[in-house]
Structure 1
Amino acid sequence: MSTPRRTITSVLTGALTIALVVLLPRAVGTNWSTVGTLLGHLSLPAIALLAVVWIAGLWSHSFVLAASLPGLTKRRGLTLSLTGSAVANVLPLGGAAGTGLNFAMTRRWGFTSAAFAGFLAVTTLINVLAKLGVIAVALALAPIVNAATALPIGHTSILPVGRAGVLLVPVLVALAGVFWFLASERAAASAGRVLDRAFSRVLGRVLRRVRRRGDLERSLPALRTSVLDVFRGGWRPMTGGMVAYLLLQLALLWLCFRLLGTSLSLPVLITGLAVERLLTLIPITPGGAGVVEVGTVAALVAMGVDPAAVTAGIVLFRGFTYLLEIPVGGVTLACWLLVNRKPAVAA
């Protein structure tokens, strides 16, 4: 991307983020004064407790990262997580920049490009599966959410059971597709062949100039093999680390509301976390800032939660899971650069 285009993109995404955050309370029928009053009741011990749960979640996720790249320590996995998130949370389409930074760091530690490619494939797959899993659980709990939701008389449920069942189908299909891809080499080759044909029809001559037809038909089975090799050796810490991470994220969300004096049922909390996880997949703004807050708050308000309370709770939650990662990750990156300021020695 050229410098002028990059500058324009940065300005537009920054303006969109600010606008969404500023207008967030008004969009759900409250104001920043009321939200600020609720947040002002937090004590230092309460903030410290939230910080401990947040750090514990990141440490749990480091088990996933360490198992995805054999030879990577959990401390270095935590470093990759913090620094990559810090970059991704401040730059438009920052996910690619964060990945590039992590690639440079792993190369500095002596890992090969192929090892990092496998690491990236495994961690991306695990993160997508985890988010789809949370969404599937939330949709399956829709009847309980409807029963726990206190809506005014005459209002219909935010997510009727029949509609939830319909939405659950594509999620289950996506999960089945991933397992089908991993099930056999023939399935991976078939998926690559279908994608090659689809890309050829869409891009035509441009695609043929960029690469030969059949690349995915050959590369996807190889990718499947490398992913399965990593899974076989580290599926236990990966599974345990990801489950612990999601539970600690749920605990952090519960604490954010609880410490602000709001009690939400477990199904409603899971639904809120599912919406938040889903919206982080939309790379409109850095780290989904603004989009995630507005979407999650709107979903919980539609379930009957008080607008000021839900806005304060989600702002506090995102303050840890998004905003705090920027300075902490920045300091971590500065320390890493300081320690690794000398040129690397060729192997």
Structure 2
Amino acid sequence: MLSAPSQCRESRLALVRTSRSRLVTSILSVSLTAALVVFLPRAVGATWSEVGALLVQVSPASLVLLTVVWIAGLWAHSFVLAASLPGLTKRRGLTLSLTGSAVANVLPLGGAAGTALNFAMVRRWGFSSGRFGSFLAVTTLLNVVSKLGVIALALGLVPILHSASAFGSASLFLLPVPVAVAAGIGILADERVAVAVGNALDKVIGKLRPTRLREQLPGLRRLVLNVMRTGWRPMTAGMIAYLALQLALLWLCFQVLQVQVGLPVLFTVLAVERLLTMVPITPGSAGVVEVGTTAALVALGTDPAGAAAGLLLFRGFTYLMEIPVGGVLLAVWSWLHRRTSSDPRLEAVAG
């Protein structure tokens, strides 16, 4: 058995190893993101000078318009968050969204850090850990289902909007999507399906590490259904409005650059962008989304320089802007709650 000094030494060494591992992961992740963004124009057959020439044409008035649409989309999403945690105000929902995204967008695998931050904020507002767990389950499910729904709808429209060859390649690429959507609907509709799916996943994942999804999925299903029974209307309306405003923002990004892209192409591209945001190789999937989505635009007939410029402008709002705005909100929230610790009368305005 190790003595106390030896245990302390081992703890320090473990902490150092963990810190070094995180530092290396951060450096590699940032390097990969930078490399993907730097080589984006070349990857699609354009140059940075061509892309830059388009981006400098964006007027201050156009930036204001894009900002308004971006904020409107976030506000629409705050209805989803407020309905997912009864008692949460839309202002606080917006704060959770932006602060969590700010953390997730700068750290490798930052989703966990963003969730931990949101947990601390929700607990500070007086919600229990159990209610946060329900909130997290519902919002995660809605986020994934909304992305898969857009992808599945785009897949269904491919034979109508695009060529037969595009339908064949898209079907092969997106085949798991309708399967995942069907499985999710089945789990919510019937607890027996949740048990069966959990059991199957336990057998597959259990080869790598032990899981208890056979028991956890039915419990998760009940949590989700309890919240959705009362909040499904604002959740549905808020999510549809949010996705519609995301599509509007994407369309406007190309309009202000005077790059002509048809609405069917934009809808397909939004589906590709939604899919790639689920690939957590880099913080906020930065670089991966830009290269993959721009490549899809070019494959569908968009000018390479225009495709890269429009997508970078769109991601400037949906990814980059969330970092400083969320950081400011986090700083304000921290300052307000430090003050409420010494003056409880300020609790009503802290949030």
Question: Normalization by structure 1: what TM-score?
Answer: 0.90
The equivalent residue for 2:102 is 86
Give the 5 Å matches for 1:31-42. Answer: 31-42=47-58
Between the aligned partners of 2:287 and 2:170, the Cα distance in structure 1 is 26
Structure 1 residue runs of 5 or longer lacking an equivalent are 148-156, 208-212
* TM superposition shift of 1:302: 1.1
Match of 1:233 among 211, 227, 230: 230
| Moved >6 Å (runs of 4+) | none
CA offsets 1:95-154 (integer angstroms, 9 cap, x no match): 11000000000000011111111111111111111111111121122134425xxxxxxx
**In the alignment, is residue 11 of structure 1 matched against residue 17 of structure 2?**
no
* TM superposition shift of 1:92: 0.6
Which protein, 1 or 2, shows the higher relative CO under an 8 Å CA cutoff with sep ≥ 6?
1
The equivalent residue for 2:14 is none
The equivalent residue for 1:321 is 318
The answer to whether the Cα contact below 8 Å between 1:60 and 1:241 also exists between their aligned partners in 2 is yes
The equivalent residue for 1:48 is 64
The answer to whether the Cα contact below 8 Å between 1:66 and 1:74 also exists between their aligned partners in 2 is yes
Structure 2 residue runs of 5 or longer lacking an equivalent are 1-16, 345-351
The answer to whether the Cα contact below 8 Å between 1:140 and 1:164 also exists between their aligned partners in 2 is no
CA offsets 1:248-272 (integer angstroms, 9 cap, x no match): 0000000000110012111100011
Between the aligned partners of 2:175 and 2:203, the Cα distance in structure 1 is 26
The equivalent residue for 1:195 is 201
Q: How many residues align?
A: 326
The equivalent residue for 2:277 is 280
Between the aligned partners of 1:168 and 1:310, the Cα distance in structure 2 is 22
The equivalent residue for 2:85 is 69
**In the alignment, is residue 171 of structure 1 matched against residue 177 of structure 2?**
yes
The answer to whether the Cα contact below 8 Å between 1:140 and 1:168 also exists between their aligned partners in 2 is no
Match of 2:293 among 288, 293, 296: 296
SS of the aligned residue for 1:160 comes to: helix
Percent identity, please. 63
Give the 5 Å matches for 1:126-205. Answer: 126-146=142-162, 159-167=165-173, 169-203=175-209
The answer to whether the Cα contact below 8 Å between 1:61 and 1:245 also exists between their aligned partners in 2 is yes
Corresponding letter in the other structure for 2:37? V
**In the alignment, is residue 246 of structure 1 matched against residue 252 of structure 2?**
no
SS of the aligned residue for 2:194 comes to: helix
SS of the aligned residue for 1:41 comes to: coil
Between the aligned partners of 2:71 and 2:286, the Cα distance in structure 1 is 20
Between the aligned partners of 1:144 and 1:185, the Cα distance in structure 2 is 36
Segment drifting more, 126-135 vs 179-188: 179-188
* TM superposition shift of 1:187: 1.9
* TM superposition shift of 1:164: 3.7
What is the root-mean-square deviation in Å for CA atoms of aligned residues?
A: 1.7
Between the aligned partners of 1:281 and 1:109, the Cα distance in structure 2 is 29
* TM superposition shift of 1:165: 4.2
Between the aligned partners of 2:201 and 2:167, the Cα distance in structure 1 is 34
